[in-house]
Every structure is written in C-alpha cells, then in structure tokens.
C-alpha cells in the first residue's frame, strides 16, 4: 500500500472545515451516541436533566433540533455546493456555526437558561442563509424548497422553546410531530432522486425506475400531511379522514419502493441500506393510520419508526456514502459499514416491533434499542474520524 504524504495523515483544520459534511457528520454522530444514553439514564432514574428543557421535552427536542439538524445541515451544505457550484459556509464561518450548535447543546443540557435557548434559536436561520445564498446566486429554483423547510424547522424550534418557557399554550409533542414531517419530506424528495440514481449507476443498467408523476403525487400528499399535523397535531380529531390520507400515502410510498426493485441491491450493502431505511417511512405512515383507527398501539410507535428507522437509517446511509465519496475513497461498504447498517436497523426493529408485540418488556427493549443505536454511531465516529478530519485520500 502506498503511504500517504505526511500532510494527509494528521488532523487538519483546513480539511475538517472545508465542507459541511465533515464537522457536522462527526459532531452529529458523536452527539447521537452521547445524548440517547443520557436520556435512557434519566428514564431509569440514574441522572436528572435540569436544563430549560426537562425530561422527555429535552429528548424530543435534541433528537430533532440537536442531532437531526446537525446531520441535515451537513448534508445540505455539501449537496447545495454540488448542485450550484457555489461555496457554502466553510472555514471560519463553518467553524462558527459548529461552535454555535455545540454551545447550544451543552447549555441546554447543563442548565444554561436563556443563553442556551437563544444560541439554539440562531442556528437554523443562519444555516438556512448558508444554503439560500448559493441557491439564489445560481438561480437553482428546483431546490429552493430546502430553504423553506429549514425555516419551517426554525419556526418549530421557536415554538418548542416558547412552550418550555410557558409563553405559549401548545403541546410540544405536536411541534415534534410536524418537525418530523419536515424530515420525512426531505427523505421523500431527496430519497426519491438519489436511490434509483445510485442503484442504476452502481449496477450499470437502468433497472430502478423513477416515476415523476408518482413523486409529485407523494410530494403533495406529504405537504398535506404536514399541514394536517400542524392543525391537529397528535390528537385524534378527524381521525378517519387523516387515517385515509396516511393509508393512501403509505401505499404510494410502497409502490415507489417497488419501482426501485430493491432486491437487486442485496449484494451491495451501500445500496440496500437506502431502500431499507426508506421503507420505514411508509411503515410509520401505516402505523399512524392504524393508531388513528383505534388499533391497539399508540402513534408514538410510528414516531420511532420514522426517527430511528427512516431518519437515522437514511442519515447513516448518506453519511457513510458521501464521506467515502468526498474523501476520494471507493464507494464500497466494508464490515464496519455493514455493522453500522445492521445496528441501526436492529435498533429500529426492537424499538418498534419489540414494543408492539412484547410491551411488557419495555425497559429491556428500550435498553437494547439504545445499545444498538449507540453502537451504530460510535462505529461511525471510530471509522470516519480520520476520514473526516484529514485531506482527501487522492491528494
């Protein structure tokens, strides 16, 4: 094996802050591995979370507006630069955003009060500005929606903090629900573009099919879902009407997955993890529909199908793939990547199906699911620390 130059073997701030995926993938993965055990420890009464967001409020907020937005922003900063050919935040600007995000995480946990909340509220608008400028400069209208969705998340974050401060009489679980809807829209749109593209490029033949009319129909349906969840939240009002929407959407998503012919990806883990992760989305929609129609489970089950199965699964799939590709390495999943994928799928399966079929073992299942989650993200950090903090392997 050819030895890399000395400049390629040590931590490099220039490399680390050169593009958004590097610091935010690493920071988001590390936070995922740290924050969930803290939450589980609080459930078992080992520790108390005494920041401005307490208990389950902190857990809900940090899964979306801590871990989730870090990975999303890292992806968007990287993708928008590719889409437009214009620079997204890098260097000191990127480092400043990372420091802002990190300070908010520490202060919200440690009891930083209003300072932590203000810093947290600043992050998403600044991140939205970081992608809005290159998109507008390039007149890349196709992807303007990404700015709008980040701003919707920013509004949701503000509502979350307003509820925590008793400034607003609103259920925080409703905000959590439609924030998840925003991530589901990102998965729907971006996944609908890249999964058949990556599959066909890797296999050398056009076997995965993308139907634009179906994509448009699902996109409209997901927006309707977001609007309905903003209006009704986690309540059971208009349950039949909303269940019908969820059932139709779930069915359309399944048709979409079928057109990709996911079985053709089975020999390539870096491919099969994408449709497998995406499939948790229609499963979640169907579980929510069932809950609204008085099935013997709660809507929370569907929430975890999306957050653990679809969100985290798609994130790890894209984190491994883009980190390898942008660092000049082959797009091949080794045993570490396969273990990462298996751990996150197992975490979702235990958290959803374990609770569904064996609710009496809730605490054991919670611990097992959390352990699989932590293993997935710790493995990512261990494998990708050197990749994300050093110059490209081909330079």
Q: What is the pLDDT of residues 264-294, one digit of tens each?
A: 999 999 999 999 999 999 999 999 999 999 9
Query: Whole-angstrom Cα distance, residue 281 to residue 305?
Result: 7
3-state secondary structure 143-167: HCHHHHHHHHHHHHHHHHHHHHCCC
Q: What is the pLDDT of residue 2?
A: 38
Residues 344, 251, 190: CA angle, nearest 5 degrees = 55
Query: Whole-angstrom Cα distance, residue 384 to residue 15?
Result: 13
For 233, residues 6+ apart whose C-beta sits below 8 A from its C-beta are 171, 173, 174, 177, 178
Query: Which parts of the chain register pLDDT below 50?
Result: 1-7
Q: What is the pLDDT of residue 109?
A: 86
Phi, psi at 209, each rounded to 5° = -105, 135
CA-atom Rg of the chain in angstroms = 20
Q: What is the pLDDT of residue 215?
A: 96
Q: What is the pLDDT of residue 385?
A: 95
Query: Whole-angstrom Cα distance, residue 322 to residue 327?
Result: 8
* 8 A C-beta contact, residue 387 and residue 329: yes
Q: What is the pLDDT of residue 310?
A: 97
- DSSP secondary structure string for all residues of 48-110: ---SSS-HHHHHHHIIIIIIIHHHHHHHHHHHHHHHHSSPPS-HHHHHHHHHHHHHHHHHHHH
Q: What is the pLDDT of residue 395?
A: 56
Phi, psi at 68, each rounded to 5° = -60, -50
Largest CA distance in the chain: 64
Least Cα distance to 49 among 58, 40, 60 occurs for 58
The count of residues in the chain is 395
Residue in this structure with the two tokens 């990556």, named with its chain if needed: 198
Query: Whole-angstrom Cα distance, residue 343 to residue 345?
Result: 6
Tokens encoding 280: 């948790």
Query: Whole-angstrom Cα distance, residue 100 to residue 96?
Result: 6
Q: What is the pLDDT of residue 79?
A: 94
Tokens encoding 123: 């992050």
Q: What is the pLDDT of residue 59?
A: 87
Q: How many CA atoms lie within 13 A of 350 on its CB side?
A: 19
- DSSP secondary structure string for all residues of 214-270: HHHHHHHHHHHHHHHHHHHTTS-TTHHHHHHHHHHHHHHHHHHHHHT-GGGGTT-HH
- Positive/negative CA dihedral, 85, 86, 89, 90: positive
* 8 A C-beta contact, residue 229 and residue 174: yes
Q: What is the pLDDT of residue 290?
A: 96
Q: What is the pLDDT of residues 177-234, one digit of tens each?
A: 999 999 999 999 999 999 999 999 998 877 899 999 999 999 999 999 999 999 999 9
Task: Report CA-CA distances (Å) from 60 to 243, 262, 313, 395.
Answer: 24, 32, 18, 41
The end-to-end CA distance of the chain, in Å, is 15
Q: What is the pLDDT of residue 285?
A: 97
Burial class (CB in 10 A: 0-12, 13-18, 19+), 30: middle
Query: Whole-angstrom Cα distance, residue 11 to residue 246?
Result: 47
Query: Whole-angstrom Cα distance, residue 134 to residue 204?
Result: 32
């Amino acid at each position: 094996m050819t030895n890399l130059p000395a400049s390629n073997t040590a931590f490099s701030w220039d490399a680390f802050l050169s593009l958004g995926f590097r610091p935010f993938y690493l920071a988001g993965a590390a936070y995922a591995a740290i924050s969930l055990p803290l939450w589980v420890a609080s459930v078992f009464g080992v520790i108390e979370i005494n920041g401005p967001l307490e208990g389950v409020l902190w857990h809900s907020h940090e899964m979306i507006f801590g871990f989730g937005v870090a990975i999303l922003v890292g992806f968007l900063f990287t993708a928008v630069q590719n889409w437009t050919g214009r620079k997204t935040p890098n260097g000191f600007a990127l480092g400043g955003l990372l420091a802002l995000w990190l300070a908010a995480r520490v202060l919200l946990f440690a009891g930083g009060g209003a300072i932590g909340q203000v810093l947290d509220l600043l992050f998403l608008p600044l991140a939205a500005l970081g992608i809005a400028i290159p998109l507008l400069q390039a007149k890349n209208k196709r992807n303007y929606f990404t700015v709008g969705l980040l701003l919707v998340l920013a509004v949701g974050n503000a509502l979350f903090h307003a509820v925590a401060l008793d400034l607003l009489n609103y259920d925080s679980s409703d905000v959590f629900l439609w924030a998840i809807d925003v991530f589901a829209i990102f998965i729907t749109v971006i996944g609908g573009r890249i999964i058949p593209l990556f599959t066909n490029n890797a296999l050398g033949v056009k076997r995965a099919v993308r139907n634009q009319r179906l994509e448009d129909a699902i996109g409209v349906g997901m927006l309707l879902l977001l609007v309905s969840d903003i209006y009704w939240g986690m309540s059971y009002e208009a349950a039949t009407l909303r269940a019908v929407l969820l059932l139709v959407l779930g069915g359309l998503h399944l048709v979409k997955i079928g057109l990709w012919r996911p079985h053709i990806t089975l020999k390539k883990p870096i491919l099969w993890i994408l449709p497998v992760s995406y499939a948790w989305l229609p499963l979640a929609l169907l579980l929510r529909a069932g809950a609204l129609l008085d099935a013997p489970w709660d809507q929370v089950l569907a929430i975890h199908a999306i957050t653990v199965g679809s969100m985290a699964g798609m994130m790890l799939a894209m984190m491994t793939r883009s980190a390898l590709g942008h660092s000049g390495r082959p797009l091949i999943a080794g045993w570490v990547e396969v273990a990462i994928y298996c751990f996150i799928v197992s975490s979702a399966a235990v958290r959803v199906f374990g609770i569904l079929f064996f609710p009496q073992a809730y605490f054991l299942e919670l611990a097992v699911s959390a352990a699989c989650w932590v293993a997935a993200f710790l493995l990512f950090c261990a494998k990708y620390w050197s990749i994300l903090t050093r110059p490209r392997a081909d330079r």
